[in-house]
Amino acid sequence: MTTFPTPSITSRLPAVGTTIFTVMSALAAEHKAVNLGQGFPDFACDPALVDQVTQAMQAGHNQYPPMPGVPALREAVATKIEALHAHQYGAADEITITAGATQAIITAILAIVHPGDEVIVLEPCYDSYVPNIELAGGVAVRVPLTPGTFRPDFAKISAAITPRTRAILINTPHNPSATVWSRADMLALQDLLAPTNILLISDEVYEHMVFDGAQHESASRFPGLAARAFVVSSFGKTFHVTGWKVGTVVAPAPLMAEFRKVHQFNVFTVNTPVQYGLARYLANPAPYQDLPAFYQRRRDLFRAGLQNTRFKLLPSEGSYFQCVDISEVSDLNEADFCQWLTREVGVAAIPLSAFYGEGFDQRVVRFCFAKQDETLHNALKRLQSL
């Protein structure tokens, strides 16, 4: 029998392997550990949302929707943003429904970044950002957030700007550090970018998880930022349906026109009945208005339990993550500690070093508290044994 060899290829992403989230989730499953590593809820979404999607299916909304998204959902998104941030986006030409936030981000990057363009990313950062930039032929310029506090250092950001800088990518509330950009931060960014043609990609998927009475400062709230920004949101994060992979991006019409050119050729469009279901579900703002209190209760439960451990708690201002300093618990580095914690203690966490290009280790790991109370109590019992 003749065998034919598979042709070799040159990898577009030679430095990329299996993500830390996949590795730690597999390890957690192998050792029957409580998985507080990967960021997803272990509780159900609102049954009313499932009912709305089911009704949409039964009503026959099962064929291709318009490429930018179902008009009713785009209108609902426009209404929501205007109510929250006092900024008007045109549903027809400034809002697109995406296959999750990850697709929104890579599509924005592919739309605006040309080979050799530089894109500033603030480390630690979500692991898709840099590969997205590299796939577009761009150059990621890594600027560290201030170690320990994870605040933006605008002097360092300014120093990183060159004539080749095409865009800057920010994330607030921030994954992995759980910090939230303030109004002063956003105004400083607006002032920094004002004399430039630099575009902004603002990853705001945890927008409704801001705690202690603070307000989410969306780029949409600031005219100088909104005029140059792709603002990315996630229905999956907001409504506990991460597996549905549905999000939104909003941007001024000229930017959105370029975004849609790419969007139509990488996914074309997004799950029809889910869009109709979400459009009807958004008529009631209570689910996302109640979300800060919903997650703050879980945060407070988890933090109270961690007080009875040797972990040093870092602030958790937003998102559904809690970072801790492990210096008083172990001499291991972050990655080895997370492996050990999963195998020997039965709780999975994520090392912050995984969010840095050079693996910067500051003895900090990240837990996810988007879990049922029983899950959190189980994890805390194990952690308190350390």
Amino acid code (one letter) for 353: S
pLDDT of 80 strictly over 90: yes
Quote the pLDDT of residue 16. 87
Say yes or no: domain 47-285 is CATH 3.30.750.24: no
Quote the pLDDT of residue 330. 96
Tell me the C-alpha distance between 293 and 240, whole Å: 15
> How long, in residues, is the chain?
386
Tell me the C-alpha distance between 36 and 346, whole Å: 10
pLDDT of 15 strictly over 90: no
220 neighbors 248 (Cβ within 8 angstroms): no
pLDDT tens sequence across 255-278: 999 999 999 999 999 999 999 999
Per-residue confidence at 104, pLDDT binned at 50, 70, 90? very high
Residue spans of the domains in the chain: they are 20-45+289-383, 47-285
pLDDT of 20 strictly over 90: no
Residue 248: helix, strand or coil by DSSP?
strand
Distances (CA, A) of 70 to 62, 90, 130, 212, 333: 12, 14, 31, 35, 48
Residue 270: burial class (beta carbons within 10 Å; 0-12, 13-18, 19+): buried
Quote the pLDDT of residue 81. 98
pLDDT tens sequence across 366-383: 999 999 999 999 999 999
Average pLDDT, the chain: 97
pLDDT tens sequence across 216-231: 999 999 999 999 999 9
Summarize the confidence of residues 179-187 as an average pLDDT.
98
34 neighbors 347 (Cβ within 8 angstroms): yes
Summarize the confidence of residues 278-294 as an average pLDDT.
97
Summarize the confidence of residues 23-46 as an average pLDDT.
93
Quote the pTM value: 0.96
Tell me the C-alpha distance between 94 and 92, whole Å: 6
Runs of H (alpha helix) within the chain: 20-30, 47-58, 71-85, 100-112, 129-135, 154-160, 183-193, 223-226, 235-238, 253-266, 272-281, 286-289, 291-306, 334-340, 373-383
Distances (CA, A) of 253 to 75, 137, 246, 259, 376: 15, 25, 21, 10, 44
Quote the pLDDT of residue 91. 98
Cα-Cα-Cα-Cα dihedral of 80, 81, 86, 89, to 10°? -120
The pLDDT > 70 percentage for the chain reads 100
Summarize the confidence of residues 4-21 as an average pLDDT.
90
- Residue 188: HSE in the Cβ half-sphere, 13 Å Cα cutoff: 13
Homologous superfamily (CATH) of 20-45+289-383 is: Aspartate Aminotransferase, domain 1 (3.90.1150.10)
Quote the pLDDT of residue 238. 98
